[in-house]
Amino acid sequence: MTTSVHSEYDYIIIGAGSAGCVLAARLTEDPHTRALLLEAGGQPRAREIAIPAAFSKLFKTAVDWNYSTEPEPQLQNRSLYWPRGKVLGGSSAINAMIYIRGAARDFDDWEQLGNPGWSFSSVLPYFKKSEHQQRGPSDFHAVGGPLHVSDLRYVNPLTRAFVAGSTEQGIAANPDFNAASQDGVGLYQVTQKNGRRHSSYDAFLAPALHRPNLTVLTQAHATRIHLYRNRAFAVAYLHRGRSHQTRATREVLLCSGAINSPQLLLLSGIGPADELQRLGITSVHNLPGVGKNLQDHPMVSVGYLCKQPVSLRDAASLSNLARYLLTHRGPLASNVAEAGLFHRTRPNLPVPDLQLLFGPAYYRNHGFDTHPEHAFGFGPTLITPHSHGEIALRSSDPLMPAAIRANYFCAPEDLRVIVEGVKLARAIAHSNAFAPYTGAELHPGPQARTDADLEAFIRAEAQTLYHPAGSCKMGHDPLAVVDSQLRIHGLESLRVVDASIMPRVTAGNTNAPTIMIAEKAADLIRAHSTAATGETRDSGKL
């Protein structure tokens, strides 16, 4: 990748993840716009990145920031593992590829919280702008965009049983979670192209790499954003052990994700002044909300032995590998979590609060635990959390990971949703459709009978579904960090553009909405730049 870096660019984009790749590609469509994209990770070379079923093999490797939370008070003080992509493509290069936009109501709520332009009808065009939908265009979908949204090339028989078993339990079939309603059960669509992962890098950045006005620097870890008075004008970063600084003549665009974006703001003296002073960091802009409002989707794994040898246990056999490499088909084209359902655990809820994922495989402890026999599992997940956590600095050292406090289940109603989810998973596992397959329950296990038993199981085993968001939220309340144009309150030439700006985490997987945020941001930035150029021209006339 390019290593010759100029001393200044129009835009410096920090982080080549789901959002950063979109911004870099969209802004440099204009050949007169020069952008530098800094990425702490490297090239997406690992073979497991492209192979859908191998995503968990990337955990705790060089392409993972390999974060852990602080001891979680409601989870037996366990420190939870949080993978995050550290590679071109960011977390979209290591995720499970499920394409879910969220409930229309999520975005209408964002707008009602004081963010004009973010209602569902306002953001739908941006979802569609990105999209190349395998099923063709419709009111909700589009073709011709860079991001391939595909039906799964491989669907396991257990997944078909899950869909049938759920309908037996009264859950309506939903062939498209990204259309009029999210409720119901169905197969997921995935960000794959011809059976291979289609990350934000693959879809947006790779086709733009040849542009002379785009410089991409990998292994470049941003350490500070420099301000002059209230204007961001330069970024400091480490590259191959040496410190560098590059100027941005128009804007600095922070796309480092829900953990690292607030961390970099704090390191730059932008955040709660009292907390920064305690760490010996000079406060340059007191903004109490930086790092607050962190939200995530917790999940627990409910597992069963499978009476028939049909699970993904042997997905990586030599014959399957050869089949995949030759045709991009077969079990290795599975994203493991092949299907799911969205369900309201109380009838009066405005949107589903439970997402129940299904995988024809043993998946416990992020896939690190294995089982010698065929097995399958459900992942009841809370998608409308009331608990909030925070990202905070441990020290002023930019290379030291931030402290992550998820505070899962600090709001008591959050735990109840997953308890209901475990019960629903059990009912589906004992439906007629699963009769040929369901063996002994592995976890929580038959000894867990009462709600109290299930709560204890969840406290002992809950993990992240990998969707942290909200830590630099958009809005106008005292904890808001950016306005509805994603500009940092009180500063100029500095925006945050990634999952951290969500005022509330969407009720579903977070990759598609993050890409949408960046698509919209690109238009906001271009409009701002055009207006500024016009102003300069006008003032020149005077």
Catalytic residue annotation: 467
521 binds ligand FAD (CB under 6 A): no
Is residue 390 a contact residue for ligand FAD (CB under 6 A)?
A: no
Helix, strand, coil in percent for the chain, rounding step 5: 30, 25, 45
Among 218, 355, 381, 511, binds ligand FAD (CB under 6 A): 511
User: Which of these segments, 26-34, 80-88, 432-440, 483-491, binds ligand FAD (CB under 6 A)?
Assistant: 80-88
Comparing CB distances to ligand FAD, the nearer of 2 and 432 is 2
Q: Which residues does 43 contact at the CB level (< 8 Å), separation at least 6?
A: 1, 87, 88, 218
Check residue 516 for interaction with ligand FAD (CB under 6 A): no
Pick between residue 297 and residue 374 the one whose CB is nearest to ligand FAD: 297
Question: Token pair for residue 322?
Answer: 């050869």
Q: Which residues contact 541 (CB under 8 A, 6 or more apart)?
A: none
Whether the Cβ atoms of residue 496 and residue 262 lie closer than 8 Å to each other: no
CA distances 327 to 132, 153, 190, 323, Å, are: 21, 11, 18, 6
Question: Binding string, 261-300, against ligand FAD, x = CB under 6 A?
Answer: ---x------------------------------------
Q: How far is the CB of 366 from ligand FAD (least distance, A)?
A: 8
* Residues 6+ away with beta carbon under 8 Å from 333: 52, 53, 152, 153, 154, 192, 195, 324
CB closer to ligand FAD out of 40 and 433: 40
Q: Is residue 25 near ligand FAD by the rule CB under 6 A?
A: no
The correct pick among 83, 271, 291, 444 for binding ligand FAD (CB under 6 A) is 83
Q: What are phi and psi of 204, to 5 degrees?
A: -110, -50
Are 483 and 304 within 8 A, CB to CB?
no
Stretch that binds ligand FAD, among 32-40, 314-322, 445-453, 529-537 (CB under 6 A): 32-40
Helices 120-130 and 104-112, packing angle to 10 deg: 130
Question: Checking DSSP bridges between strand 302-306 and strand 375-382, what pairing results, if any?
Answer: antiparallel
Q: Is 91 in the site for ligand FAD (CB under 6 A)?
A: yes
Nearest-approach distance from CB 309 to ligand FAD, in angstroms: 27
Min CB(398)–ligand FAD separation in Å:
7
Between 58 and 428, name the residue whose CB sits nearer to ligand FAD: 58
Counts of helices then strands in the chain (DSSP H, E): 12, 26
From 77-85, 116-124, 173-181, 399-407, span contacting ligand FAD (CB under 6 A):
77-85
14 binds ligand FAD (CB under 6 A): yes
Question: Closest distance between ligand FAD and the C-beta of residue 506, in Å?
Answer: 9
Token pair listed for 25: 């590609």
Contact call for residues 496 and 482 (beta carbons, < 8 A) = yes
Query: Residue 134, Cβ neighbours under 10 Å: how many?
Result: 15
| Shortest distance, position 135 Cβ to ligand FAD, whole Å | 18
Strands 231-239 and 220-228: antiparallel
17 binds ligand FAD (CB under 6 A): yes
Pick the binder of ligand FAD from 343, 467, 495, 504 (CB under 6 A).
467
26 binds ligand FAD (CB under 6 A): no
Q: How many CB atoms lie within 10 A of CB 279?
A: 14
Q: Read off the tokens for 252.
A: 């600095």
Question: DSSP secondary-structure letter at 366?
Answer: G
CB of 141 closer than 8 Å to CB of 178 = yes
* Length of the chain counted residue by residue: 542
Residue 382 CB, nearest approach to ligand FAD (Å): 15
What is the spatial distance between Cα 212 and Cα 220, in angstroms, rounded to a whole number? 20
Nearest approach, Cβ of 356 to ligand FAD (angstroms)?
14
User: Whole-angstrom Cα distance, residue 269 to residue 183?
Assistant: 43
Segment contacting ligand FAD by CB under 6 A, of 84-92, 316-324, 415-423, 479-487: 84-92
222 binds ligand FAD (CB under 6 A): yes
Interface pick for ligand FAD out of 26, 78, 84, 328 (rule CB under 6 A): 84
CB 31 → ligand FAD: shortest distance, Å? 25
Number of residues forming the site for ligand FAD (CB under 6 A): 41
Which residues are at the interface with ligand FAD (CB under 6 A)?
A: 14-20, 38-41, 83-86, 90-92, 94-98, 100, 221-222, 255-258, 260, 264, 466-467, 498-499, 509-512, 514
